[in-house]
Amino acid sequence: MRHRVAATLTVAGLLLAGCAGSEPPAVVPSVPAPSPSPTPTHDTGIAADASPLSGRPGGAGKPVLVVKIDNTTAAQPHAGLQDADVVYVEEVEWGLTRLAAVFSSRLPKVVGPVRSARISDIDLLAQYGRPAFAFSGAQRKLTPLLLAAPFHDVSGDLSLRGYYRDPARRAPVDFMGRPRELLDRAPKASAAKDIGFRFDVAAPPGGRPAKSVTADYPASQVRFVWDPAKRRYDVLLNKAPARAAGGGTQHATTVVVQHVTQRDSGYGDKYGGRTPKEETIGAGTGWVLRDGRAYQVRWSRPTAKSGTTFTHGATVVPFAPGQVWVVLVNKATKVRPS
């Protein structure tokens, strides 16, 4: 009964207050705060399943195979090189060069000619995790370091599975590899992962027009010439077009010139040639060429397991999707796009 009286008095009080001209406080509905508009992001045009090594579609999650390839005139035409995601150019004894080709998104039927490993390969490959590494021989003093290195050894030294001699070629540039069989020897080879490269179908702002770039070594040369009609760089090795097995020549969509510290490694061949050690861990300067333009960059790789970034100012320079050539050049050698 007391509750009913109290309720009646309360209602009456409200009615009297209304008659006196005052109104009960308005009930304001709760309205959620508006969500901030999403920040527009630049569409790079790169597929979600693209390889982090080349930006090629369908390449994500595939295992990595690195193959050491001869780069003398006698080694041409190179087999399978056009399918590599990344191609490194390294100086070896007597001022010659060798290639380290990284395969993942595409595997050719045959690759080669396969040649021997060098001390610089150990640091270079570490950023890929534990890839499969195909090579033919090495200096005897270097063998213990290669056995302890973080890659899966699928060399011809351990087994000839996945290799054969091409009767149409002369030794020592007749040793060829079959990539699928070589990867079968390394079922736990690392999948392609982020090694610092970024890709964009559109060229970044800045840079300057550049039709070509040439890297000269004591006994070798690598040159890239922009083809505006096909939007790619023609590759010339040792002052001649780099021929491909099956016809045609080699091409690149992005060219990186990486100036590195180079020193005597303490290793050498039986003829007295000294093996240079190229320091790919650390920092330095260089150039990135794409779409007929050249960007002056700084490269950085703090540790062996870190990827390598190439920045112009505070921004990572994106590469054009497709094959990337990284030319390792002694920082004492002047290389300037023109």
- CA pair distance 186, 164, nearest whole angstrom: 18
Res 41: pLDDT? 55
| pTM across the whole model | 0.88
Residue 10: inside a domain, yes or no? no
Number of domains in the chain: 1
- pLDDT tens-digit series, residues 243-255: 999 999 999 999 9
Cβ 221 vs Cβ 53: under 8 Å: no
| 260 within domain boundaries | yes
Question: Which residue range(s) make up the domain with 90?
Answer: 65-330
Q: Which of 168, 164, 190, 197 is nearest to 178 (CA)?
A: 164
Confidence of residue 71 (pLDDT cuts 50, 70, 90): very high
Question: What pLDDT score does 238 carry?
Answer: 96
Residue 88 within any structural domain of the chain: yes
Three-state DSSP state, 140:
helix
Mean pLDDT (the chain) is: 90
Tokens of 253: 């969509």
Within-domain flag for 55 = no
The larger pLDDT score, comparing residue 298 to residue 32, is at 298
| Rounded CA separation 324/252 (Å) | 6
Question: How distant, in Å, are the alpha carbons of 69, 80, 114, 152 from that of 162?
Answer: 15, 14, 11, 14
- Tokens representing 138 are 């090495």
Per residue in 257-268, pLDDT tens?
999 999 999 998
Give the C-alpha separation, 159 to 193, whole Å. Answer: 27
188, 64 contact by CB (below 8 A):
no
Cβ atoms within 10 Å of 147's Cβ, excluding its own: 10
Residue 55, token pair as written in the block: 């930006």
CATH number at residue 127: 3.50.90.10
